[in-house]
Structure formats: C-alpha cells, structure tokens
Chains A and B, each alone.
Chain A
C-alpha cells in the first residue's frame, strides 16, 4: 500500500489517465500520424528523408505533446480537486511534479519508445535503440516546460493555442540539442556533445518548473 502522499497523487493521476481511455495514446498517435504524413510531402527519396528525420521527429514530438498539455491541471481545477490538494498539507511543488510525471508517463514516454519506428519510416541510416534516449530526455523537458504553460492557463477556457504560443520559445533548445543528437545516432556516430546539453536542459527545467507551476496555481 502506498503510504506517501505525493506518490498517491502520482498514482491517482496515472489511474485517471488510464480510465480516460482514448486520450491515453492520443499524443503518440498524433506523433505517428505526423511522421507518416511527412514523406508524402517530402517525397520518398531516402537521402532527403533521412536528412530531415531528426528535425521532423523533434518537431512532431513538440506538437504531439501540445495536444494534451493543457489538461494537466485544468481537469482538477474544473471539479475543485485542486483546492483539496492545496489543503492537503503536501508540498505543491512535489504535487505538481507528480502530476506532470504521470502525464509524461502516459503521453511522453510512448512517443520516445516510438522513435526507432519513426526513424525506420524516415529511412534513417542506422536505427538502434540508442535513438530513444535523445527523444526520452527531450520529452521530459518538453513536459516540464509545458507544465508551466498548463498551470498558467488552467483557469482559462480553450487555452490550447495560448499554451502553444507561451511555451514554443522554450522548446528551442530541446529541438536544437535533441535533433543534433538524434542526427548523430541515426548516422551511426553514437552519442555526441548534444546529449549532455540536452540533459542539462532537462535538469534546468526540473529545477525551475515545479516552483513556477505551484506559484501559478495559486492564482486567484
């Protein structure tokens, strides 16, 4: 039995996402759809597809994550559950982090696991399981920054496009470092300098995001 309050919030969020059903793999499906559409626009030329694969995978990751981000806190705010979490005596920083982690687990992780498949479809030279790691780190960062956008707009109706505008600039380093690193891996050069920078960016997000989210949710 789970005896930790923050862990309980994580598990509750996770089980609600499962119970949500169809919403669960929506970002992954969106991601796959984007990747499968791209060759139809770019053309089947293998060299061209392989060259655009890393960038496209990261752009698709950013866009796919935007499809669910706005709901991270909105669902709880609408029914008043967030009020109760604020009175529970738990640290709101950890509670918000637990919620983001649960959402990342059901929406972000499947995308990272899909990367090799996407790379094969994009005719990448060498597809290994290593290609998961850059997208894995990138998706964590994207969900942490995205959580800030979600918390700032939780009380607003139809906040999706607004969240996109707010946090897209924050995705710049992820796309740059991530795509460069993925390019390294997909061209058979193994990991490069981008991986450390990508991880550093994740840590920066981890350090800033919980405080910004908990501060933003105190809006009233």
Chain B
C-alpha cells in the first residue's frame, strides 16, 4: 500500500550490523591513523609539525566531496527510479557532508595561519569548498522549507543535481580566477609530490574518515526510516480511530 516507503527492510537488516562495524572500524583506524601521523611520521621539512593537520584536512575534504557526489547520484536515482531509499540516503548524507566541509574549511584556515600568516587566503581549493558548503546548506534549507516529505525530496533532488552539474564549473572558474590573481609567496596545499612516509598515513586516515562517514550516514538513514515509519503508523492509527 505505502509503496513509497517500501523495501527499507533489507537496508535496515543490513545496516543493523554494518553500521556498528563501520563505526568501530572507523574509530580504530582514525585513532591509530592520527597516532601514526602525529607521533611516528617525520616532520615535514619546511612546515614542521603544523603540516600534520593535513591528516584531518585532506581526508575531510575528499570524503566531503565524495559525499556530495553520492548525494547527487542518490538524487538522480530518486528522480529516475523513484526509490525512496535513495532520497533517504541523499537527505542523510547532507548534514555529514556539510560537517566535513566545515571541518575542512576550519582546519584549512588553522593550517593557513602558520603557513600563510593569515587565517584565510582565497585559495582555489578552499574557495571551492566554501561554495560546496553553501550548496549543501542551501539543499538542507530547501528541504526543511517544505511541509511534506515528498515535495522536499523532489525539490532537493533537483537542486542537488543542478548543484552537482555546476560544481565542476565553479571549481574551474575559481581556479581560473586564482591563476589570474596569484598572490605572492603562495604555497600550494596538497599536491601529489608527497614522499611515501607522508603518503601512506594519509591513505590510512582517508579510509578511517570514510568509514566514520559511512557509519554516520547509515545511522542518519536508519533514524530517517524509523521516523517515516512512525509518521505512517501514526497516520494509520489516526485513521482507524476516526
């Protein structure tokens, strides 16, 4: 009857053990990964110990980008196949993606203070991340403006897809702008010229943060599904009482 809410059962059954697994594994990897990075990785030649914020900053940036991409894929699936579980996934990924973008921006700015001598530089990557955060906040604000979940789902999916199409354009334009206005004495963050001793802990931390993201997203999805089931049940009870 309520085909919109159909088949979340398999997801609930799967996530019941997958979610704690991700959470525990993620916590262990992040804890050991940071310990590895902070205590065992040699200090970077020019930046010293401050470069170690990279092990939070870079994974947060990459996972938040991946999270936005997954929101876009889920939105597309929802619009084409009308699977409500895809909408639940997109909705649940949004706050986690926003939090990761925010962490990325804050750590980037803290890293910028000793490196650039200021908390904020209009660096191309930071600027793109800032606008990605705005896109996600807009998505969340739009969804919350609708009363009915179905309206919110459709509007959110359209906005998310439009944003996903635009994100590469935004990134390109910001990079183009950045090369035109390159400030003096600028040090590029990241890049692929890492020595292996910096490279492996970064990958390790990336996996850890990815697992934590997965656990948080699954927890949010479970809560959302339970909430929808509760609302549906409440409506049914009101109906039979009337």
Contacts and interface: CB of A to CB of B under 8 A. Distances in A.
Interface of A: 145, 148, 152-153, 155-156, 159, 162, 165-170, 172-173, 176-177, 180, 197, 201, 204, 208, 212, 215-216, 218-220
B66 to A, nearest CB: 19
A169 B166 contact: yes
Which of A208, A215, A219 is the most central at the interface, judged by chain B CB atoms within 10 Å of its CB? A219
14 contacts: A145-B162, A148-B162, A152-B155, A152-B158, A153-B145, A165-B141, A168-B138, A170-B170, A172-B170, A176-B177, A180-B180, A201-B169, A212-B161, A219-B151
Given A166-B159, A204-B169, A215-B158, A176 B176 contact: yes
Contacts of A180: 177, 180
B81 to A, nearest CB: 15
A167 B169 CA distance: 14
Contacts of A201: 169, 173
A145 B159 CA distance: 11
A172 B131 contact: yes
A145 B165 CA distance: 12
Contacts, number: 79
B166 A212 contact: no
Nearest to B161: A212
Given A152-B142, A169-B163, A208-B162, A219 B173 contact: no
Summarize B's interface: helix, strand, loop or mixed: helix
B83 interface: no
A166 B141 CA distance: 8
Nearest to B140: A165
Contact of A208 (B165, B173, B176): B165
B135 interface: yes
Contact of A162 (B132, B145, B151, B176): B145
Nearest to B134: A169
